[in-house]
C-alpha cells in the first residue's frame, strides 16, 4: 500500500548521495522542483553523509554507484527517522518518484510502486496528451475562486458538491468545443451567485 501526495518543495532540503549520472539526474529533478539539495559522495574531493547532516533534510536519495555508500546512507537515514529512496532498489525504498506530466498548475503522476518505471513513463505520456493549455488556464481560474467559495459555503460537503458540479460541467463543455472565455465567465457568475453561509 502507498499514499500519493504532492510535496511543496519551497524552503525544504533534501540529500542526494552519489557522484555519478543517476545522482546528477536526481539532483536536477529535485532542484527543478524547488528543493535545496545537499550532495554527498565518497571520494577525495567530497564528504560522506553523516547522521548529523540529516537534522534538516526531509528525505534522502541514495543514488551512488557504490552499493556500500547506498547501504550506509540507508542505514543512517533509518537511524535518524528520515525517509530514504535507494535508487533502483524498490524493496529498500520508503517512497518512489512517479512519472509526471505537467502543464501549468496541472500535473498527472503515474506510479507503478517501483515495479516498472518504463510502464509508468508510457502511461504518463499518454495521460499528458490529455492536458491542454485551456485546461491549465481553467485550473488557475478554479484555484483563484476557491477562497471565495470557501467563504460562502461553510461546510465541506457543500463545497464538494459545488466543485464537482462546476469542474465536471466546465471540462465537459471545454471538451465539446465551448470557448474557454465563455466557460470562465460562467464560472465567475456561478461563484458570485453563491449565498454567504455562516
Residue with cell 529512496: 85
**Each residue's pLDDT tens digit, 67-115:** 999 999 999 999 999 999 999 999 999 999 999 999 999 999 999 988 9
Question: Residue 42: its pLDDT value, please?
Answer: 80
Q: Tell me the per-residue pLDDT of 164-198, one tens digit each, with 9 for 90 and over.
A: 999 999 999 999 999 999 999 999 999 999 976 54
User: What is the SS3 assignment for 71?
Assistant: helix
Determine the pLDDT at residue 197. Answer: 56
With respect to CATH, is domain 1-97 assigned 3.40.50.300? no
Give 118-149 pLDDT, tens digit per residue. 999 999 999 999 999 999 999 999 999 999 99
Q: Among residues 155, 136, 138, 137, which one has the least CA distance to residue 194? A: 155
Cβ atoms within 10 Å, residue 55: 9
The model's pTM is: 0.80
User: Looking only at Cα atoms, what is the longest distance across the chain?
Assistant: 67
H or E element that contains 102? strand 99-103
Checking DSSP bridges between strand 57-62 and strand 106-110, what pairing results, if any? unpaired
Domain extents in the chain:
1-97, 98-130, 133-192
Cell numbers at 32, concatenated = 527543478
- How many other CB atoms are there within 10 angstroms of residue 42's CB atom? 17
Write the CB contacts of 166 (distance below 8 Å, at least 6 apart in sequence): 142, 187, 190
Please tell me the distance from the alpha carbon of residue 187 to that of residue 82, in angstroms, as a whole number: 43
Q: Count other Cβ atoms within 10 Å, centred on residue 198.
A: 3
Amino acid at each position: 500500500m502507498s499514499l500519493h501526495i504532492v510535496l511543496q518543495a519551497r524552503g525544504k532540503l533534501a540529500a542526494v548521495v552519489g557522484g555519478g549520472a543517476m545522482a546528477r539526474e536526481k539532483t536536477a529533478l529535485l532542484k527543478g522542483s524547488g528543493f535545496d539539495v545537499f550532495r554527498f559522495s565518497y571520494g577525495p574531493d567530497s564528504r560522506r553523509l553523516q547522521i548529523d547532516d540529516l537534522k534538516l533534510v526531509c528525505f534522502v536519495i541514495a543514488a551512488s554507484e557504490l552499493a556500500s555508500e547506498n547501504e550506509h546512507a540507508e542505514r543512517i537515514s533509518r537511524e535518524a527517522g528520515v525517509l530514504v529512496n535507494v535508487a533502483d532498489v524498490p524493496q529498500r525504498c520508503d517512497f518512489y518518484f512517479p512519472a509526471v506530466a505537467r502543464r501549468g498548475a496541472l500535473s498527472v503522476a503515474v506510479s507503478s510502486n517501483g515495479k516498472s518505471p518504463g510502464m509508468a513513463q508510457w502511461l504518463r505520456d499518454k495521460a499528458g496528451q490529455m492536458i491542454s493549455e485551456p485546461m491549465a488556464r481553467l485550473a488557475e481560474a478554479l484555484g483563484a475562486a476557491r477562497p471565495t467559495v470557501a467563504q460562502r459555503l461553510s461546510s465541506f460537503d457543500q463545497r464538494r458538491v459545488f466543485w464537482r458540479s462546476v469542474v465536471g460541467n466546465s471540462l465537459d463543455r471545454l471538451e465539446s468545443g465551448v470557448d474557454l472565455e465563455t466557460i470562465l465567465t460562467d464560472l465567475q457568475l456561478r461563484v458570485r451567485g453563491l449565498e454567504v453561509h455562516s
